[in-house]
Amino acid sequence: MSLKAVKSLRITWRITLLNIRAAMEYRTEFLLNIAVGAIWQVSVIVFATVLLARFTGMGGWDSSDVLLIPAIRMLAHGLFVLLLGRLPFIGRQIQEGMLDVYLVRPMPVHRQVQLAYFPTNAIGDLTIAAGLMVGALSRSRLDWTTGRISYLIAAVLGGMLLEAALFTVVACASLRFPAADYWGRWLEELLGTFGSYPLNVLPKAVGGFLTYGLPLAFVAYVPAAVLTGHGHDTGAPFWLAAASPLLGVLAYAGARLLWRWALRHYTGVNG
What is the residue-wise DSSP string for 200-242? Answer: GGS-HHHHHIIIIIS-GGGTTHHHHHHHHT-GGGSSS-HHHHH
The residue type of 78 is G
Q: Which residue segment(s) compose the domain that 124 sits in?
A: 3-264
Number of structural domains, the chain?
Answer: 1
Asked if the structure places residue 107 within a domain, the reply is yes
Give, in order, the Cα–Cα distances in Å from 134 to each of 53, 129, 176: 18, 9, 42
Residue 269 in domain: no
How far is Cα 31 from Cα 128, in angstroms, rounded to an integer?
15
Note the pLDDT tens digit of each residue in 139-172. Answer: 888 888 999 999 999 999 999 999 999 999 999 8
pLDDT for 5 equals: 75
Question: 271 lies in a domain?
Answer: no
**Please, which residues have CB within 8 angstroms of residue 157's CB and are 6 or more apart in sequence?**
76, 79, 245, 248
Q: Is the per-residue pLDDT at 203 higher than 70?
A: yes
Looking at residue 48, its pLDDT comes to: 67
Residue 176 lies in a domain: yes
Chain segment 96-127, per-residue pLDDT in tens: 778 888 888 888 888 888 888 888 888 888 88
Q: How many helices (H) and strands (E) does the chain have?
A: 15, 2
Residue 270 counted as domain residue: no
Residue 51 maps to a domain: yes
Element (H, E) at 254: helix 244-264
Residue 63 within a domain:
yes
pLDDT tens-place string over residues 166-196 = 999 999 888 888 777 778 888 888 887 777 7
Listed ranges 54-63, 181-190, 209-218; the one with the highest mean pLDDT: 209-218
Neighbours of 63 (CB within 10 A): 16
